[in-house]
């Protein structure tokens, strides 16, 4: 039987792998923020979300020290900017 590892287990079991994590709820975004505060190698992690609110919870905490993808609204803005150049 296989089990899904917890975040700490995944990060320690595969130190050479980068992770793309999407918090699915506001609660999970806050829990992820607290968990990542104790990690020394957050450069292995990229946060993605369609929600500005969820991704901003992490961006506001870690500033430029944490990779994050564009949200849906940011993608739309970039698309429109380049469309009219």
- Strand ranges across the sheet with 19-21: 19-21, 45-47, 67-68
pLDDT at 83 over 90: no
Could you tell me the pTM of the whole model? 0.85
Q: Would you state the pLDDT for residue 1?
A: 85
Which runs of consecutive H residues, i.e. helices, occur in the chain?
Answer: 7-13, 26-37, 52-62, 72-83
pLDDT digits (tens, 9 = 90+) for 49-74: 999 999 999 999 999 999 999 999 99
pLDDT tens for residues 2-43? 899 999 999 999 999 999 999 999 999 999 999 999 998 899
DSSP state of 40: S
Residue 85 has pLDDT above 80, yes or no: no
């Amino acid at each position: 039987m296989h089990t899904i590892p917890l975040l700490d287990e995944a990060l320690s079991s595969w130190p050479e792998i980068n992770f793309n994590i999407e918090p699915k709820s506001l609660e999970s975004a806050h829990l992820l923020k607290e968990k990542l505060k104790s990690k020394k190698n957050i450069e292995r992690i990229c946060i993605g979300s369609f929600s500005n609110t969820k991704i901003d919870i992490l961006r506001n905490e870690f500033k430029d020290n944490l990779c994050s993808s564009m949200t849906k609204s940011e993608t739309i803005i970039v698309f429109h900017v380049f469309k009219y150049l």
